[in-house]
Amino acid sequence: MAEQQLKGRIVKALSGYYYVRPDEITSAGHDIQCRARGVFKKRGLSPLVGDHVIYSLTENGEGVVDELLPRRTELVRPPVANVDLAVLVFSVTEPALNLQLLDKFLVHIEHAEIRPVLCLSKSDLEHEGSQSIEAKAAADKVRELYTSIGYEVLGTSSRHSEGIDQLLSRLQGHVAVFAGQSGVGKSSLLNAIVPGLALETNVISNKLGRGKHTTRHVELIDVGGAYVADTPGFSQLDFQELGIEDLGYGFIEMRELAPKCKFRGCTHVHEPGCAVLEGIEKGTVAKSRHSHYLQFLEEMKEKKRRY
């Protein structure tokens, strides 16, 4: 008798096992613990959390992943497939807003062709303590700058349940990844979205200005009409998988202006007739964004020289 081919999605990967959630409710009524067929290794493929798969059940009630269905998107770090929304979480204060890191995330997310949403967490801290005036000014500046470029910017406070319903509504129908500076409250936000989830959270070290990673494996969390990937170590980004020519693409205002540059393949550094440099003079391209672009360009060239 032929094995029954079933469809599902990998929602967790841990210690060599893949946990597949069936597309159709089965009599088992739970995720199926699966191994992957050896053929994937031979082909240089590896199943990822988020993959749509075809699997079959074994006699002991476990399963085998037989086939990976085509991926819409694929992130290298964290290793997640079919993500179509990236919620970039940056706190208003504690730790301080790091716009260079935010732009770095955006470059990677744009390159992966995933829609980003900026989420300013801990918005209650804008109104508390001696840092409140500076924090509010910084948050307003971020909202104004990134909204003008075309990004969605949401404000949330897990402590006061502010903006949680709006964020939950934005997630509907998507597979989303939460990413951002370490210690910004990603786990607290997820706990606020899904009461009872009780993800481990960590106290910020003021001395270091960052939090310790609390998430230990990649897992898709069902938030009712959406999946969220809770991911470890996503605050450490480099440009190894990006080419220098991909960098300008990651800055959407530069991507739009590039065709108007005098020279094809313009690096937007010093070329005459560069539409991006003209945009900076006119104030339509933010100096801070271009400054980060130049820093990333130097970082990539330095990496290239080392390898």
pLDDT by 10s per residue, the chain, length 307 = 346 789 999 999 988 899 999 987 655 568 899 998 887 877 888 899 999 999 999 888 889 999 999 999 888 767 889 999 988 888 776 667 788 989 998 998 898 889 999 988 765 544 445 456 676 777 788 889 999 999 999 887 766 667 788 888 999 999 998 877 766 667 777 777 776 565 444 333 333 334 444 445 678 888 888 898 866 545 456 666 677 778 999 999 999 999 999 998 899 999 999 999 999 999 999 999 999 999 999 988 887 777 6
108 and 219 both lie in a single domain? yes
Q: Does any domain span residue 134?
A: yes
112 and 57 both lie in a single domain? no
The span from the CA of 62 to the CA of 34, in Å, is 6
Structure tokens at 112: 């992966």
The span from the CA of 294 to the CA of 271, in Å, is 14
31 and 117 both lie in a single domain? no
266 assigned binding-site residue: yes
48 and 134 both lie in a single domain? no
C-alpha closest to that of 117 among 163, 153, 155: 153
The span from the CA of 68 to the CA of 45, in Å, is 9
Burial classification of residue 259, based on how many CB atoms lie within 10 Å of its CB (0-12 exposed, 13-18 middle, 19 or more buried): exposed
168 and 62 both lie in a single domain? no
What's residue 252's pLDDT?
94
182 assigned binding-site residue: yes
**Total-model pTM:** 0.79
- What is each CA distance from 254 to 10, 36, 112, 290, 294, in whole angstroms? 37, 42, 17, 9, 12
261 assigned binding-site residue: yes
Q: Does any domain span residue 177?
A: yes
C-alpha closest to that of 80 among 114, 123, 41: 114
DSSP letter at 3 equals P
Residue 236 CB neighbour total at 10 angstroms = 8
128 and 223 both lie in a single domain? yes
Structure tokens at 48: 């990822």
Positive or negative, the CA dihedral 166, 22, 221, 79 is negative
Structure tokens at 235: 């605050």
34 assigned binding-site residue: no
What's residue 34's pLDDT?
92
Q: Does any domain span residue 130?
A: yes
Domain stops at, among 46, 69, 92 = 69
Domain stops at, among 49, 69, 89 = 69
Q: Does any domain span residue 236?
A: no
C-alpha closest to that of 17 among 37, 1, 33: 33
Q: Does any domain span residue 1?
A: no
Q: Does any domain span residue 239?
A: no
Question: CATH no. for residue 196?
Answer: 3.40.50.300
What's residue 205's pLDDT?
33
| Tally of domains within the chain | 3
Residue 38 CB neighbour total at 10 angstroms = 8
What's residue 50's pLDDT?
94
What's residue 190's pLDDT?
76
300 and 219 both lie in a single domain? no
Residue 102: which domain range?
Answer: 75-230
160 and 120 both lie in a single domain? yes
110 and 181 both lie in a single domain? yes
Question: CATH no. for residue 11?
Answer: 2.40.50.140
- Helices and strands (DSSP H and E) totals, the chain: 9, 13
Q: Does any domain span residue 53?
A: yes
63 assigned binding-site residue: no
What's residue 204's pLDDT?
32
Question: CATH no. for residue 266?
Answer: 1.10.40.50
136 assigned binding-site residue: no
88 and 117 both lie in a single domain? yes
What's residue 213's pLDDT?
41
| DSSP track, 128-175 | SSTTHHHHHHHHHHHHHHHHHHT-EEEE-BTTTTBSHHHHHHHHTT-E
The span from the CA of 119 to the CA of 90, in Å, is 6
Domain stops at, among 69, 103, 122 = 69
110 and 166 both lie in a single domain? yes
What's residue 174's pLDDT?
93
Q: Does any domain span residue 164?
A: yes
211 and 271 both lie in a single domain? no
